[in-house]
Amino acid sequence: MKRPKKNILVIYHSQSGTMELMANRLAEGAVKEKNIAVTLKKAADTKLDDLLNCNGIAIGSPEYFGTMAGMIKDFFDRTYEAAQKKTIGLPFIVFVCAGNDGRGAITQIERIAAGYKWRKVQEHTRIVGTPTEQNLVDLEELGQVLSAGVDLGIF
């Protein structure tokens, strides 16, 4: 009997295309695990059901003026009340691209994730400036680690 696939939700916001490229590479890594399905969506298009039906989440945000993208915050605002008690312990990771240093966006997302009571399972990825090919390879690996951990029940 085949077991049902677990799902990794990868959400992101991108205006210039950089974060979209990063999210795609992370998703490429996540889908390498055969028992994992990946849902890749822009934050604006992500619904409550996407969150409620995932087994792990990766959140990608550019840093704007020292903060996360407004559309990432909008996703949290739209889902918090209905999802907070239903997603306790959800494994999460964050990946940020910044022109400055990215720490502000990561700190904000971590605070919100703490409100949901999600579980950070890997160090967050912070890329300053244009991602290099090695940065993208690292993101792909991060996606696969998240998927493998979810698949094996480690996370």
What total number of domains does the chain contain?
A: 1
* Domain range enclosing 86: 6-152
Report d(CA 144, CA 2) in Å as an integer: 21
Residue 54 lies in a domain: yes
| Residue 73 token pair | 């915050």
Burial 67-76, CB ≥16 within 10 A → b, else e: ebbebbbebb
State the alpha helices, DSSP H only, in the chain. Answer: 18-30, 48-52, 70-83, 103-116, 133-152
Domain assignment of residue 63, yes or no: yes
Q: Give the model confidence (pLDDT) of 51-78 as tens digits.
A: 999 999 999 999 999 999 999 999 999 9
pTM of the model: 0.95
The amino acid occupying position 115 is G
- Asked if residue 102 is part of any domain, the answer here is yes
Q: Residue 144: which CATH number?
A: 3.40.50.360
Please check whether residue 1 lies inside any domain of the structure. Answer: no
Distance in angstroms (rounded) separating the CA atoms of residues 33 and 44: 27
Encoding tokens for residue 137? 């390879």
- pLDDT of 115 strictly over 90: yes
Where does the pLDDT of residue 99 fall: very low under 50, low under 70, confident under 90, or very high at 90 and above?
Answer: confident
Asked, for residue 78, whether it belongs to a domain, the answer is: yes
Q: Is the residue at 95 inside a domain?
A: yes
- Whether the per-residue pLDDT at 7 is higher than 80: the answer is yes
Is 97 a member of any domain? Answer: yes
Q: What is the pLDDT of residues 13-26, one digit of tens each?
A: 999 999 999 999 99
